[in-house]
Amino acid sequence: MKKMKKIFMLAIAFAIGSVNYMDAVTLKITCRSKGKELEVLRKSIEEWMAEHDGKHKVEIVTLPHASNECFALYQQWFGAETFDVDVLQLDVAWVGIFSDYLLALDEYCAGHLDMNDYFDIIKENMYGNDGHIVALPLYTDCGMMYYRRDLLEKYAKPVPKTLEEMYETALYIQNEERKDESKQNKFYGLVLQAKAFEILTCNFAEILDACGGSIVKSGAVEINSARGMYAIEFMIKCLKNIMSRSVLNYSEEDARGIFQSGNAVFMRNWPYAYALMSDPSTAVAGKIGVMTIPPSADNGKESGVLGGWFLGVSKYSKHKELAADLAMFVTSKAQQKIRVQFSYLPTFRSLYSDQEVLKMNPFVANMQKPLLKAVARPSKAFGKNYTKASSEIFNTINTILTESVDNTEDFNANKLMNRLNEKLSRLLQEKQQKKITDAPNDDGKTGFFRSILDQITGFFGKR
């Protein structure tokens, strides 16, 4: 009898234990390890776990450093359909591409999100292809122009209002500064990033936007429009006269290296550079100002390309509700406020006038305007073809710039831009057609062998 009781007790204990076990969940979230991102996320997660009385656990999966490698990794995961990561960190340009694999979050965030407080351009990117909210903005980024306040003052030049004025100012100061022998060979008017990578697509997209052009407009590619040609010619002019030709191999940190050591008047970069260059040990601390990418005098608009990261929940997550809860917690206003001290820009408009935020990081006040003027890359228009499109863009622009300074014999920017336009149009069409015919493949893993069989039977059928 005693034995029976023991067994009975054991069974109950086991049952309770297993119920508890079923309830406690371990979620997986991906995170980049650039800068302080990992550390910040860890703190947010601890708070979230405390809020759930420590019942659930969260595991962080770190991502590769380069964003194109993260992208490839995600594609493999989604392709395999069997991975167990619940919450994913996504670049703003990927939301549209991966939207078919992301959980619609509308029902989870209904009533919890202050949609009107998001910047419009960020809000647009939260929606997937079918109009549902699929990603929540974590922090944002925006291309902008840094300038040397002290140098502008030294030569009594105003902060330029247009691209053309910026060019003239940069050229003037460059020539004046180069009279000093020690700066003869290494002082430049402008630095930006023209390495043939995604960053060049960003750089070009914002100059194009500042010149009043666009890559895709109402469903058609128009990168070779008159404004497009003006933008590329402006870049060539800059490269020939006020930039080192090495920018053709520069990414963000190379450009910062030049500007931070005091060897340039203007620099195009992301906000992250500001915090690093404010360090008193740098040559430019306290001497820099920021502005949007200035508009072209002829029909232009202020600009800056939109960057930043989102959190999305995988469609294949086994704990959808909890995962959505975690994503919402980490991207909430309160959490974004904490991130400000690490120079991660909030995605809520109200935080830009929040006294506490401004006290923590006064720089944030400068950023509202660039964000209001920001332009997105055409990732939605190209969908899964975006990486190909972007690579066509940066390769062509890099080639044009290289050939323009090499004075290649048959150099013809027009021809190259027209060819680029054709290629992009083809990619855009391909994507639009895909949308119609992209029916889910229901015969599963037999697809490959079926198609071989089809080919063989087709082959003999013809005979």
Residue numbers at the binding site for another protein (CB under 8 A): 68-69, 72, 75-76, 78-80, 185-186, 194-197, 244-249, 254, 257-258, 261, 263, 384, 387-388, 391, 394-395, 398-399, 402, 405-406, 441, 444-445, 447-448, 451-452, 455
**Residue 336 or 390 with smaller CB distance to another protein:** 390
Q: How far is the CB of 22 from another protein (least distance, A)?
A: 31
- What is the CB neighbour count within 10 angstroms for residue 11? 10
Q: How far is the CB of 398 from another protein (least distance, A)?
A: 5
Task: Give me the DSSP letters along 152-177.
Answer: HHHTT-PPPSSHHHHHHHHHHHHHHH
Residue 26 vs 433, nearer CB to another protein: 433
Q: Which is nearer to another protein, 157 or 384 (CB)?
A: 384
| Nearer to another protein (CB atom), residue 23 or residue 181 | 181
Complex with another protein: residue 78 or 348, whichever CB lies closer:
78
List residues bridging with 310 in a β-sheet: 90, 137
Closest CA to 215 of 423, 377, 419, 94: 377
Shortest separation between residue 254's beta carbon and another protein, angstroms: 7
Rounded to a whole number of angstroms, the minimum distance from the CB of residue 426 to another protein is 13
**In this structure, are residues 457 and 269 in contact, taking their beta carbons and an 8 Å threshold?**
no
- Nearest-approach distance from CB 380 to another protein, in angstroms: 18
Residue with smaller CB distance to another protein, 32 or 423 = 423
Q: What angle do CA 127, 133, 137 make, to 5 degrees?
A: 80
Tell the smallest beta-carbon distance from residue 15 to another protein (Å). 39
Q: CA 278 to CA 272: how far, in whole Å?
A: 11
Q: Is 346 helix (H, G, I), strand (E, B) or coil?
A: coil
Shorter beta-carbon distance to another protein: residue 368 or 391: 391
Distance (Å, whole) CA 22 – CA 325: 18
Burial of 130 (0-12, 13-18, 19+ CB in 10 A): exposed
79 vs 289, which CB is nearer to another protein?
79
Closest distance to another protein from the beta carbon of 416 (Å): 12
Using alpha carbons, select from 404, 375, 194 the residue that is nearest to residue 295.
375
Minimum separation from the CB atom of position 134 to another protein (A): 16
Cα distances from 201 to residues 61, 93, 269, 416, in angstroms, run 28, 12, 13, 16
Closest CA to 145 of 126, 169, 124: 169
| Tokens, residue 422 | 């054709």
